[in-house]
Amino acid sequence: MRSSQIVREFMENGKSKTCPVIDMHTHLGPYQGIYFPNPSPEDMIRTMDRCGVTMAVSSSHAALIDSRENIKMVDTVKRYPDRFRAYWVINPNYPEDIEEEIRQFSKAEGFVGFKFLSDYHRYPVTSPRYEPALKYADEHGLIVLLHTWGYSSYDSPKLVEKIAVRYPNAVFLMGHSGYGEWEKAIQVARDNLNVYLELTAAYAVNGVIEWMVREAGSEKILFGTDLPWFDPHYGIGCIIFSRITDEDRHNILHRNAEQLLQRFI
C-alpha cells in the first residue's frame, strides 16, 4: 500500500506535490444543524492548504435557505479567485424568482453552474420548476451539482437519469453518488456521458470506490467533501487507501475536475 507515491506523500505531508485535489462539492458559512469549527472562506482556505486542495466549488449555506444570498458568492470568488468557484442554488419553492436569478447568474462572475438540493427543497429534479435552469444549463454546457440520495422520490439516480437524457449538454454531478443506491448510480454514470459520481460522504462506505472504479471507470468520479462539514483528509484517505491505481487516484482527486472546470478558470 505504502508503495504508492500518492499515499506516501499524503501520509507524510498531508498533501501531494504530484496530486493536487479539487473539491467539487463544498459550502460555506454556518448552518442550522451542525457546529462548524471552520466555516468562513479563510478557515476553509487554511484547511484546503493543509490538505493540498487547490480549488473548491461552493454554494453557500445561506443560499441553500434563501437563494437571494447567491449573489454574495461573487465576493468570495472575487476575493479568492484562485481558490473558489461557485454554484448558484436554485430553490423551486420560489418559482417566481427563478427567471430573474438565471438572469443574475448569467451576469455574475465565478459561477460554474447550478446547485439543486431537491431532498431538502422537496421538489423532484424532474419538476417543471427546475426546467428554466436546466434548459439554461443545457444551452450553455454548465455544471449542475445535484444532491442525490438512494431511493429518494426527489433526487434518486433514476430521476437523475431522466434529466440527464433530456438535457444532454448539461453536466450532472450526482452529489453523494446517490448514497445507498450504488448499483443504479454507477449504471447511470456509466451509461450517460454527462453524468458523474461525486463522492461526498459516499467515500466512507468501505469498498464502494473500488466498485465505482471497476464499473463506471475512474474518469466518471469526482472528489467532494461538503466542506466545512467534512475534513478533506478523511475523504482523501478513503480514496488513497482504496484498492485502485495511482492513475485512478489522479483522475478522481483532480484530473476529471480540471477537465470540467477548464473553461471556468
**Cell numbers 453557500 label which residue?**
60
CA distance 35 to 23: 21
Q: Would you say 177 and 147 are in contact if contact means Cβ atoms under 8 Å apart? A: no
Closest CA to 148 of 182, 171, 99: 182
* SS3 category, 17: coil
DSSP 8-state secondary structure symbol assigned to residue 40: S
CB of 259 to another protein, least distance (A): 25
Record the cell numbers describing residue 233, joined without a space: 483528509
CB of 255 to another protein, least distance (A): 20
Q: Would you say 214 and 224 are in contact if contact means Cβ atoms under 8 Å apart? A: no
CB of 15 to another protein, least distance (A): 9
DSSP 8-state secondary structure symbol assigned to residue 109: S
- In the bound state with another protein, the residue whose beta carbon lies nearer, of 76 and 242, is 242
- In the bound state with another protein, the residue whose beta carbon lies nearer, of 27 and 85, is 27
β-bridge partners, 227: 26
CB of 223 to another protein, least distance (A): 13
CB of 229 to another protein, least distance (A): 7
CA distance 26 to 222: 12
Binding residues vs another protein (CB under 8 A): 1-2, 10-11, 14, 33-38, 43, 47, 50-51, 182, 201, 203-211, 225, 227-242
Q: Would you say 84 and 76 are in contact if contact means Cβ atoms under 8 Å apart? A: yes
DSSP 8-state secondary structure symbol assigned to residue 255: I
- In the bound state with another protein, the residue whose beta carbon lies nearer, of 55 and 239, is 239
- In the bound state with another protein, the residue whose beta carbon lies nearer, of 3 and 262, is 3
- In the bound state with another protein, the residue whose beta carbon lies nearer, of 111 and 179, is 179
**How many residues does this entry show for the chain?**
265
- In the bound state with another protein, the residue whose beta carbon lies nearer, of 74 and 205, is 205
CB of 192 to another protein, least distance (A): 23
